[in-house]
Structure 1
Amino acid sequence: PNVTIVEPDLSIDKSAVPNQGVPLGTPIQFTLVVDHTTPESQTDAFDVIVTDILPPGLEYVQCTVQYTAGLAPDTPAADYCNPGTTTTDLIFEWGVFPLGQTSTITFTARLVNSPVTNAASVAWTSLPIDPQLSGLPFQLSTHNIYSTERWYDPLDDVDIYSVTDSVTINQQSAGGGDDDDGRTLPSLLPATGFAPGMVTRLPQQPAEKAYASTDVWLEIPRLGVTMPIVGVPLSEGDWDVSWLWRQAGWLDGTAFPGWKGNSVLTSHVVLPNGNDGPFAALGNLQWGDRVMVHAYGSVYVYEVRQNQTVSPSNTTVLQHEEDAWLTLLTCKNYNEASDTYANRIAVRAVLIDVRQDTSPSQTGNIR
């Protein structure tokens, strides 16, 4: 008989107030929202752990942890009320996090260095089972070596039970010499998906938002994808990627693909016809996977270093890099009620090699 697999899927959103123009010594309130209401989740999550490690630029203010809404952690807030001591690791645990629940946690930290980025993650398991003394999961059936509890493994194709979000205090412009002309980039990541399973009609593309053709194309072997890269203009303070079809859009204002800096490419998770887009499986990329940019007779080989789920307002993934990095963006977690996507997938890869391109041009094709 067929076997149906049901899995939990959580998200986390991290924010801070204030976050721009903040003088040193200012107390900042951080908010963590753990959400277990996404349509992708199908069952309760277990052994849930939220981890927030404060960087050296932030100093935790004792006794400020509060559970302000939703399902409170099993971890007592009083654990983080120790006047006269220094706390850097904020860890909150739930034995079970039922489907449909959310949880909101707030705390205060003082800014001691700037700019500074603070990240928080949530990890979970699929069954309420503790590991053996060896650390390995118990095998529940002698006939099936895969009949075990599953938890977060960043190198595994399936056990990706963890997501991260971050916020930057006094974030600097993404500009910086090699990759842009110093313009201020948008405060939200572009929306790169349409309603799944239905047709969305688009207006005619305005001339000022027309995409620039290039002789550059993208290859992602693990996903079996090749596609041309077009330039998406920064128009009226935003990138409008609505008219991307089977193309990757290079976001104007970030580094040109192959150059030093942070080059940001985006493509749709769902196309206007309701079918899967080129980046539908972007979340499957993992550490070590190769991503190639073919440009002007050379192949720029990038290797994945991070695959994370972030909020649309988390523009830290756009920030300038001194070396050559590639960031791939698409949408995740469609909300039918609001007709929007709640999150973005951001895959970050670093340039490891440049070699001569012996493959035929693919600028007009995609697989």
Structure 2
Amino acid sequence: MNPGRREGPLAATAAGVLLALSLAGCAAGPATPDAEAAPSAPVSASAAPTNTLVPSPAPAAPSPAAPTAAPPAEQLPPVMDASAPVTLSIPSIGVRSDLIHLGLEDNGSLEVPEDTGDGAPASWYDGSPTPGERGPSVLLGHVNSPSGRGGVFADLRKLTPGAEINVSRTDGSTAVFTVDRGALYPKDGFPTLEVYGNTKSAELRLITCDGYDPATGEFDDNYVIYATLKA
């Protein structure tokens, strides 16, 4: 089982940049004092000018723009503190398995549990969040076994939306997830971002092989269960 190429957990975060804009007021230049008028002979009323130019008042300085209220902070779904997983239980398909912790192969793909013939337990990818933390926690399991028996994830396709998945953790708590959906992907077109990308809530990914080709003896696809933390 090789669930696509994995370059490590995606942990990109969006950094918000606040740009403060201010209005600079333009002040008029200093007033020039009027020159002292020279005395002159009185002017009769009839000789007074009929049209007197009255200067318009100077335009008022623009008022500074009112500050824009900051948008309310996004309320993210509650999650659990970090705690490594111990066991996996899926009551609706009769699965109960210890969880081993595995990382990446040298080629960047996920390590998978080694099956020596007696059936292998499911594993947690230790580069992903622990089950219950924010983000997608990744669990892997075989669909078959060299002994001919079904693997620990042989019946993932039977899971339907709303089914519960329980993961016990080292701190004594249990993360309870509900199934959202299942999806089948070809291994040569595995959607890395959709499966492993960051999420706002605590989520779970169960991944196994699918699409067995008798001509080659290989599995061409991966089957993925998407689940979200319930409690």
Q: Which residue number corresponds to residue 105 of structure 2?
A: 235
Could you tell me how far apart the structure 2 residues matched to 1:319 and 1:253 are?
13
- What does the per-residue CA deviation read over 1:4-45, in whole Å, with 9 as the maximum and x for residues that have no partner? xxxxxxxxxxxxxxxxxxxxxxxxxxxxxxxxxxxxxxxxxx
Matched, 1:263 2:137: yes
| Structure 1 CA distance for aligned equivalents of residues 96 and 113 of structure 2 | 20
- Pick from 176, 180, 189 the counterpart of residue 305 of structure 1: 180
User: Quick one: distance in 2 between partners of 1:256 and 1:322?
Assistant: 15
Deviations 1:190-211 (A, max 9, x none): xxxxxxxxxxxxxxxxxxxxxx
Q: Distance in 1 between matches of 2:199 and 2:85?
A: 24
1:217 to 71, 74, 87: 87
> Which entry has the higher C-alpha Rg, 1 or 2?
2
- TM-score (norm. length: structure 2): 0.59
Structure with the larger RCO, 1 or 2 (CA within 8 Å, 6+ apart): 2
Residues 173 and 319 of structure 1 are in contact (CA less than 8 Å); yes or no, is this contact kept in structure 2?
no
Structure 1 moving runs of 4+ over 3 Å:
none
Structure 2 counterpart of 1:243, one-letter code: E
Does structure 2 conserve the Cα–Cα contact (< 8 Å) formed by 1:175 and 1:253?
no
How big is the shift at 1:276? 0.7
Give the distance between the partners of 1:317 and 1:328, measured in 2 at CA. 10
Distance 1:268-1:259 versus aligned 2 partners, 3 A rule: same
Corresponding residue for residue 336 of structure 1:
214
Q: Distance in 2 between matches of 1:305 and 1:347?
A: 8
Inter-CA distance 173–287: structure 2 relative to 1 (3 Å threshold)? same
Retained in 1: the 8 A contact 2:114–2:120?
Answer: no
2:30 corresponds in structure 1 to none
Aligned-pair identity in percent equals 31
Quote the offset at 1:174 in angstroms: 4.1
1:45 aligns with none
Partner of 2:201: 323
Secondary structure, counterpart of 1:317 in structure 2: helix
Deviation of 1:282 (Å): 0.5
CA distance in 1, matches of 2:163, 2:209: 20
SS at match of 1:227: strand
User: How far off its partner does 1:176 sit?
Assistant: 1.6
Q: Provide the alpha-carbon RMSD of the alignment.
A: 2.2
Q: Which residue of 1 aligns with 2:10?
A: 175
CA distance in 2 between counterparts of 1:215 and 1:250 reads: 7
Stretch deviating more after TM superposition (266-275 or 279-288): 266-275
Paired letter, 1:337: A
AA at the equivalent of 1:264: V
1:254 to 114, 128, 147: 128
The alpha-carbon deviation at position 339 of structure 1 amounts to 2.0
Distance 1:352 1:326 in 2: 11
Secondary structure of the 1:234 match is coil
SS of alignment partner, residue 157 of structure 2: helix
Superposed, 1:2-81 pairs within 5 Å as none
How far 1:329 moved relative to its partner? 0.7
Asked whether the equivalents of residues 254 and 264 of structure 1 are also in contact (C-alpha less than 8 Å), the reply is yes
Change in Cα spacing, 1:173 to 1:243, as seen in structure 2 (3 Å) is closer
Q: Is the 8 A contact 2:103 2:126 kept in 1?
A: yes
Distance, in Å, in 2 between the alignment partners of 1:216 and 1:274 is 27
User: Secondary structure at the residue paired with 1:229?
Assistant: strand
Which one-letter code corresponds to 2:10 in the other structure?
A: G
Alpha-carbon separation, structure 2, partners of 1:238 and 1:308: 20
Judged with a 3 Å threshold, the aligned counterparts in structure 2 of structure 1 residues 232 and 270 are, in CA distance, closer, same or farther, namely same
Q: Is the 8 A contact 2:85 2:124 kept in 1?
A: no
Distance 1:173 1:216, change over 3 A: closer
Corresponding residue for residue 70 of structure 2 = none
Aligned residue for 1:222, secondary structure, equals helix
Give the Cα–Cα distance (whole angstroms) in 2 for the partners of residues 233 and 247 of structure 1.
15
- What secondary structure is seen at the aligned counterpart in 1 of 2:128? coil
